[in-house]
Amino acid sequence: MHDEQASAPGATDRSRDLSYAHYIAKFDRLAAGYIPAPGTWTPVDDALYGPPDPFRVPYAQALEMQLRAVRFALERHYHQSRIYHKLCRERGFAPEQVRSVADLDRVPLLPDTFFKDYPEGREFALWLGNIVSGELPRVVIQRSNPSADDVVQAFNEAGMAVTFSSGTSGRHTFIPRDRRTFLAAEYIMAKSVVAMTYPHWQRDWHGYLLMPDPRRTSLFAGRACAVFFDVIGDVRVAVDREVTTEVIRLAMAGQGGIKGRIARHVARRRWQRMITDIIRWLELHERDGGKVMFFGAPFILQRVLERLRRQGRRFAFGERGWVGSAGGWKTFEGERIPLADFRAQVEQVLGIPQKHCLDMYAMVESNACMLQCPEGHCLHVPHPFFRPLVLGDDGRPLPWGKWGRFAFLDAAALSYPGFIMTGDRVRLLERCPTCDRPGPVLDPEVNRFGDAGVRGCAEELRRLVAADLGNMEP
């Protein structure tokens, strides 16, 4: 399945012209604070920051970088993570067994459920600390029986970046990143968008994050979006409220009586104001000719589109618009939104071409951003540091084109073992059937196995809002 692949015709010898070099150099100047000093680079950094376009590295070259990067991360976790070292010993595996790209498929994987299987109180802090590979900073927890939010805050005040996601099944996923790993995750996401949208991105975009304010949450998809404030000149945030695990728990539990009715009334007014504010923002930039960019949970933009359709209104942003959606592919009422239908609605109501409406596949456990291409909307993988796998029921890699369980080796995860098997059902194609970018791609229709439960930051946000509001018109 993962033998070296000949690149698509014209891909390996395709040089990025001078205009792209200037384009990406401008981005790197704005994102300079996210890039380690060159003298400190490891094989992982070479794979992360070296390629001008993470989606256009010739596949054979990408595999060489991938092997070096994953081997570096593997050595680190084997020797510095007690949990991962124990797993490897149980499997009879040692890093020196990885001599070639094919050997990477033997690397032991942690199930994503591992990151949900944690104790409460101070034991939760110990659990988080035991996941970390490398030296843990001094973490001070004041309370004798701290909540999960107390522990997360204590770790983050000590210099870590602990984030969470996917509490829709009653258990959150918690991932402890150090500062270097978190900055890498932010950089990867932003650079993936900038590279895939070439030459569309500009510093003078007006952005609207359809996520919680990165400064007021540890929800991964919200906090990771802080990078957009550095690479886009004007950014607004849709969900301007604190979003913690406790806020989500209380909203999901509901509240009866007069206090509950008052809380839901306030939430409805907040939600209606959010939709109104977004529409006014669209009106402003239609008048001034500004370039607009949406990024985040699609169900929020879906509600904007519904209100505009009901009012019989249309916009004509054309090439001045771009939409990036990130998971949560359900309507407010919980019905799944077909990707093609969503793109068609965006084009019909906002006038933004479907080539500028791209979905992203990402998760709190991973630092990679798999982004659709404008040509065919397949999900492209940043292969230099990230190895995708599709596993059968026996846990072995499947041939190209077969549906199975998604797993990955993420070399960018240096503060925790990023060799993970998920509950997502995917299909890996040998190359994109539409564009000339080299390397395998994921089918855009990613689903969950029936025993895996619903996941994702955007889905969690949708359920939070739905629990806040109940049934209501947009």
Type of residue at 299 = F
Say if residue 472's pLDDT is above 70.
Answer: no
58 and 384 Cβ atoms separated by less than 8 Å: no
Q: What pLDDT sits at residue 326?
A: 85
Q: What pLDDT sits at residue 338?
A: 84
Q: At what angle do helices 245-253 and 148-157 cross, to 10 degrees?
A: 160
167-181, 213-227, 327-341, 403-417, range with greatest mean pLDDT: 403-417
pLDDT mean over 231-246: 91
**Fold of the CATH domain 201-364+456-474:** Rossmann fold (3.40.50)
Cα→Cα distances 205→198, 247, 274, 366, Å: 14, 32, 20, 27
pLDDT band at 449 (very low <50, low <70, confident <90, very high): confident
Say if residue 5's pLDDT is above 50.
Answer: no
Q: What pLDDT sits at residue 171?
A: 84
Burial 75-88 (b: 16+ CB within 10 A, else e): ebbbebbebbbebb
Angle (CA) 388-405-178 rounded to 5° is 50
> What predicted TM-score, i.e. pTM, was given to this entire model?
0.90
- Name every residue whose Cβ is closer than 8 Å to that of residue 239 and which is 6 or more positions away in sequence: 210, 211, 212, 213, 222, 274, 461
pLDDT band at 463 (very low <50, low <70, confident <90, very high): low
223 and 161 Cβ atoms separated by less than 8 Å: yes
E strands present in 327-391: 357-361, 370-372, 379-380, 386-391
- Cα–Cα distance, 58 to 417 (Å, whole number): 27
Instruction: Output 154 or 455, whichever has higher pLDDT.
Output: 154
Q: What pLDDT sits at residue 257?
A: 57
Q: What pLDDT sits at residue 408?
A: 98
Q: What pLDDT sits at residue 203?
A: 95
> Domain segments of the chain: what residues?
1-116+369-453, 201-364+456-474
User: Residue 461 is encoded by which pair of tokens?
Assistant: 């946000």
181 and 34 Cβ atoms separated by less than 8 Å: no
Q: What pLDDT sits at residue 465?
A: 55
pLDDT, one tens digit per residue, over 267-326 is 678 888 999 999 999 999 999 999 999 999 898 999 999 999 999 999 999 999 999 998
pLDDT mean over 363-386: 97
Cα→Cα distances 417→57, 80, 336, 365, 425, Å: 25, 10, 32, 9, 22
